[in-house]
Amino acid sequence: MYLETDRAGLKQDISVSITYQRDYVLRRNETVTRDDDQEFTLQFDGSVEVLAAERGEATKLSVSVEHFTKTEDDETEDVLPAGTVVIVEGGGK
């Protein structure tokens, strides 16, 4: 996650929904040997806090999970439980 900032302490709520779709057909000698579809949706709600910044770029973030689920075939499961905190470190674009 790239976040431009010149100071630690910046905090922002985020909400992201992503839907992934894949259509897969495998043929062998013009015969379909496999025909498969996959679709799922990821929903994330939480917050991001800048813990460290360097030269106008966040280098360490704290991502707090409020809600992070995956829905596939009308079944929803938690990817990470509410209250999980993920620390992300790095730099560069």
pLDDT tens for residues 74-91? 999 999 999 999 999 986
Query: What is the value of pTM for the model shown?
Result: 0.74
Tell me the CA distances in angstroms from 76 to 24, 40, 72, one per residue in order: 23, 10, 7
Sequence ranges of the domains in the chain: 11-89
Mind listing the pLDDT tens digit for each residue in 34-55?
A: 667 889 999 999 999 999 988 8
